[in-house]
Structure 1
Amino acid sequence: MVTSIAFVVAALCAGSMGFAIQRGATCTVAAVNEVVNKLRFNRLIAIVEASVWVTGGLLIAQMLHLLAKMPAGYPVNYLTVLGGALLGLGAFINGACVFGAIARLGSGEWAYLATPLGFYAGCLSLGTLSTASAHHTLDYRSFVLRAPTSVSLLFAAFIIWRVARPLLTARPAGSGAGVIQRARQGIASHLWSPHAATTVIGVAFLFMLLLVGTWSYTDVLIELARGMANSLITRCLLLLALLLGAVLGGRTAGPSGSTGVALAQVSKCFLGGALMGWGSLLIPGGNDGLLLVGMPLLYPYAWVAFVAMCASIGTASLVQKVMSDRTAQQRMERR
């Protein structure tokens, strides 16, 4: 049973995650689109970096004997690839992955409320098939949980360097109130860059992992669909804290205004959410669980599924780009 103090801290961490997701516009779809359209990997590297931070935190926690039982991995098979592809296709149709949907909600795009509803419906509709499919856990411990102390110390040194570097290099010239204002603006712009925002996400998730165990909001929806009641109230409250954090991030980011709820967008969000639910059951795990649990533990199935997800999004984006260019060319020829 989670103590009240541990839960309050975990809820604050969940809210911080939601805030960072919204402010950093964290989304795998946006990251892959940046690769396809601009040949830039900044956002994609930033997303993977969240996994690196969790990995390092797990190494240090293991060294200090603070880790509880970690989830087991799963074998890599055709369901892993198929699930990743469905996860990517659903995210593309939705216009955002499960992280991106939280960011959109925080920005006042209320049509994205249909995404978790669609995810839940997808888990319900595919529940029988998922139960029947063999998701046998692997009988070995992650390398992260067996790493020597020297690896943990190396990552601790990396943390010190990473935190200290921006403070040492950011020295605005001048003095007085103007310097303080420029320093605040510089810190704010750095803090919510994609790399820094995913760092906040990774660190906040790590604290939640130590306080309340393995948690991701897609797992909550999957458990709701399966009728599992293990700490479900606590998990649902953490999900609420995540959403409230995202909304707070949107409200404090400046005037953006809520967008209207169009039936077409709601339908796309629901369908995309359902496909992501199907993919998450087949892998198993949503892309938040893959990024923050499976990939940090260096489980091959999580990395394969994430690559399949990115490939699916990238393929769909390329097809859309080619069709859009062809349509534009045909219009020019008609003129």
Structure 2
Amino acid sequence: MALIAALGFILGFAMNRGSICTVIATKELVSDKRPARFIALVECAAWAALGYVILDSPPMIQEGWSTLGYLVPAAILLGIGSYVNGACVFGSVGHIGNGEVEFAFTFLGIYAVLFIESCFDLLSGQPPISASTSLGAVFLAFALVAMMALRLSLSRRLKSHFRRLTMAMGSVGITSTILAVLAPGFAIVASVGSVASIPVTGAVISVCMFGGSFVSARLRKDGFKFKRPAMKTIVKRTFAGIFMGAGALLIPGGNDTLLLVGLPAEAWQAVLAYLLFVATLAALILAMGSEAKPWS
């Protein structure tokens, strides 16, 4: 349990330190024509895949992927919720560490959806599934080097940001893999079954993860600034969380599960859902803009 707590702390610390957020990465890609942060997200999935290969443990989700009739609208719903929220689940953890407590209501909305479903059993459960990655450690290592070289070539003027983002993405990918092996079923946004199956472990990881994000922000100059949320903002975050929770429930899994479990497992459902999620974000950002921006 001490190791799990330490890994949860590292996970939260890395998410805050690297300003890891799919909404920010998508905005920089489509609005600012800067693909470096988005490439780093792909690196994160590659790090996770490499971890599964080294540990010789296949990626596993607690419930099977939904059919296309659920998967497609769920991914779009997840994208809409993340856009309204101004951050994906990774970014929400980082914002809370920065003192923006209104993002706690995002998680309140998410878990409200999961709790209601668990009470009424609205969706029939599916058995857990796992799939080993067909890519070897050597191939994944070369792919990581190639992606980092590409990102470095696009970040010549921001080498300090390159180093920080590289360390953050590697930390998130590796620690999430080890946590998935030690506590099967854990995810930041998880299906109801996985939340219910590991209540104590999940709570320990969550508390330490938010603690790591908070410590990371405190160590940065002007990183932590407590912001008292207005009622309008609270309502907005809560409704955004409900949208994100509904999407994660139907997929099942949020963008963390898609990126760190589904893509390493080479599940076509995860690839499709993540692409639809990003495409929804991109369309909304192009149509209405976005104020999302990295904080470090």
Which TM-score applies when normalising by structure 2? 0.83
List aligned pairs for 1:7-156, cutoff 5 A.
Answer: 7-62=1-56, 67=57, 70-71=60-61, 73-74=64-65, 76-125=67-116, 131-133=121-123, 136=126, 142-144=131-133, 147=134, 151-155=136-140
Supply the AA of the counterpart residue of 2:230.
A
Task: Give, in whole Å, the separation in 2 of the partners of 1:318 and 1:156.
Answer: 35
Are positions 1:285 and 2:253 aligned together?
A: yes
Q: Name which of 164, 183, 193 aligns with 1:212.
A: 183
Deviation at 1:73, TM superposition (A): 4.6
Task: Report SS of the residue matched to 1:192.
Answer: helix
User: For the Cα contact (< 8 Å) 1:76–1:304, is it kept in 2?
Assistant: no
Tell me which residue corresponds to 1:333: none
Are positions 1:264 and 2:232 aligned together?
A: yes
> Quick one: structure 1 residues 258 and 69, their matched pair in 2 at CA, closer, same or farther if it must change by over 3 Å?
closer
Task: Report SS of the residue matched to 2:60.
Answer: coil
Q: Name which of 219, 227, 243 aligns with 1:252.
A: 219
User: For the Cα contact (< 8 Å) 1:76–1:300, is it kept in 2?
Assistant: no
User: For the Cα contact (< 8 Å) 1:20–1:192, is it kept in 2?
Assistant: no
> Quick one: structure 1 residues 279 and 311, their matched pair in 2 at CA, closer, same or farther if it must change by over 3 Å?
same
Q: What's the C-alpha RMSD, in Å, of the aligned pairs?
A: 2.9
Task: Report SS of the residue matched to 1:251.
Answer: helix
Are positions 1:300 and 2:285 aligned together?
A: no
Deviation at 1:319, TM superposition (A): 1.8
Task: Give, in whole Å, the separation in 2 of the partners of 1:308 and 1:299.
Answer: 14
Task: Report SS of the residue matched to 1:108.
Answer: coil
Task: Give, in whole Å, the separation in 2 of the partners of 1:249 and 1:270.
Answer: 25
Instruction: State the number of aligned residues.
Output: 278
Task: Report SS of the residue matched to 1:219.
Answer: coil
Supply the AA of the counterpart residue of 2:246.
W
User: For the Cα contact (< 8 Å) 1:54–1:296, is it kept in 2?
Assistant: yes
Task: Report SS of the residue matched to 1:38.
Answer: coil
Deviates more, 1:297-306 or 1:207-216: 207-216
Deviation per CA, 1:167-199, whole angstroms, max 9, x where unpaired?
xxxxxxxxxxxxxxxxxxx8x755422x43111
Task: Give, in whole Å, the separation in 2 of the partners of 1:42 and 1:137.
Answer: 37
Task: Give, in whole Å, the separation in 1 of the partners of 2:113 and 2:272.
Answer: 22
Mind listing any 5+ residue stretches in structure 2 that lack a counterpart?
Answer: 150-158, 291-296
Supply the AA of the counterpart residue of 2:164.
W
> Quick one: structure 1 residues 55 and 36, their matched pair in 2 at CA, closer, same or farther if it must change by over 3 Å?
same
Task: Give, in whole Å, the separation in 2 of the partners of 1:68 and 1:92.
Answer: 32
Task: Give, in whole Å, the separation in 2 of the partners of 1:258 and 1:69.
Answer: 37
Supply the AA of the counterpart residue of 1:298.
E
> Quick one: structure 1 residues 125 and 314, their matched pair in 2 at CA, closer, same or farther if it must change by over 3 Å?
farther
> Quick one: structure 1 residues 212 and 264, their matched pair in 2 at CA, closer, same or farther if it must change by over 3 Å?
same
Q: Which has the higher helix share?
A: 1
User: For the Cα contact (< 8 Å) 1:22–1:106, is it kept in 2?
Assistant: yes
Task: Report SS of the residue matched to 1:298.
Answer: coil
Deviation at 1:48, TM superposition (A): 1.9
User: For the Cα contact (< 8 Å) 1:60–1:153, is it kept in 2?
Assistant: no
Task: Report SS of the residue matched to 2:229.
Answer: coil
Task: Report SS of the residue matched to 1:216.
Answer: coil
User: For the Cα contact (< 8 Å) 2:9–2:212, is it kept in 1?
Assistant: yes
Supply the AA of the counterpart residue of 1:54.
A
Supply the AA of the counterpart residue of 2:114.
C
Deviation per CA, 1:268-300, whole angstroms, max 9, x where unpaired?
111110100000111111111111111111111
Task: Report SS of the residue matched to 1:261.
Answer: coil
Task: Report SS of the residue matched to 1:267.
Answer: helix
Taking only the aligned residue pairs, the percentage that are identical comes to 27
Tell me which residue corresponds to 2:203: 236
Deviates more, 1:42-51 or 1:13-22: 42-51
Task: Give, in whole Å, the separation in 2 of the partners of 1:307 and 1:268.
Answer: 25
Task: Give, in whole Å, the separation in 1 of the partners of 2:161 and 2:272.
Answer: 33
Task: Report SS of the residue matched to 1:284.
Answer: coil
User: For the Cα contact (< 8 Å) 2:19–2:94, is it kept in 1?
Assistant: yes
> Quick one: structure 1 residues 53 and 313, their matched pair in 2 at CA, closer, same or farther if it must change by over 3 Å?
same
Task: Give, in whole Å, the separation in 1 of the partners of 2:48 and 2:42.
Answer: 10
Mind listing any 5+ residue stretches in structure 1 that lack a counterpart?
Answer: 1-6, 166-185, 323-335
Task: Give, in whole Å, the separation in 2 of the partners of 1:289 and 1:89.
Answer: 17
> Quick one: structure 1 residues 317 and 126, their matched pair in 2 at CA, closer, same or farther if it must change by over 3 Å?
farther
Tell me which residue corresponds to 1:197: 168
